[in-house]
Structure 1
């Protein structure tokens, strides 16, 4: 069931998720980033298991109090699994690709063995 859901999420990727996948392309040549990775009860938007790095893309719905509470609980769970979580907004990905890429590169540099 998780595999089917992950496939559906990859097929139905949002514009910002498709753009992030494009931004990750040069990094994917070195590190094995994957999309819509099942982890416990969640699906990580993007993850690299070897770096223990999770990337989450937050849309407009993430600004409500309820969504922020959910995101905080989700982040805590992901971190208990040993992952570092990077969060970017849709706007960041679509309008500040260079800044997003620089943040990712720094995180990888800090995390890589």
Structure 2
């Protein structure tokens, strides 16, 4: 038994979770803590969509409430650098629209494609919405496994 000083924290009792977790030069720790809170407080439409996307449709892995820089994406597929934002009625406010424009600009500057989906669409048919999202994932301009396009006159 140790004498003097305090005992080390038990499993799960450290202050690391309160500070925001892991070390990343791209993500500030408060953003990670905020993302964790948002995962607990997801809207009904976000939950419905997440229930479909978490099953890894067509092998794509999605993350929910994922920090990207100072912003937190509702859902994203990091391998395709694709962000999905579920917009409820709160996004109709002018100040919120300006915030959304800044966030979209930041995401695009950092190589992410952004797809905005209305909460009403998700609530109406979450399965079709998830299928439509997955259909948009493959980027036609970026297919490194296929190699360069054939030259003129070469067989395909």
User: What is the TM-score when the length of structure 2 is the normalising length?
Assistant: 0.65
Rg comparison, structure with higher value: 2
Higher strand share: 1
Higher helix share: 1
The answer to whether structure 1 residue 71 and structure 2 residue 100 are counterparts is yes
Coordinate RMSD, CA, aligned: 1.9
Per-residue CA deviation, residues 66-113 of structure 1 (Å, 9 max, x unaligned), is: 222211111111111111101111101101324412321221234684
The answer to whether structure 1 residue 23 and structure 2 residue 52 are counterparts is yes
Higher normalized contact order (CA 8 Å, seq sep 6+, divided by chain length): 1
- More deviation in 37-46 or 1-10? 1-10
2:75 alignment partner in structure 1: 46
Measure how far apart 1:12 and its partner are: 1.1
Query: SS of the counterpart of 2:137?
Result: helix
CA distance in 2, matches of 1:97, 1:21: 9
- More deviation in 39-48 or 66-75? 66-75
* Closer, same or farther: CA 83–60 of 1 in aligned 2, 3 Å: same
Measure how far apart 1:10 and its partner are: 0.5
2:35 alignment partner in structure 1: 6
Equivalent residues in 2 for 1:71-110 (5 A)? 71-110=100-139
Per-residue CA deviation, residues 45-74 of structure 1 (Å, 9 max, x unaligned), is: 111111100000111111122222211111
| Structure 1 spans left out of the alignment, 5+ residues | none
| Structure 2 spans left out of the alignment, 5+ residues | 1-29, 144-156
User: What is the TM-score when the length of structure 1 is the normalising length?
Assistant: 0.87
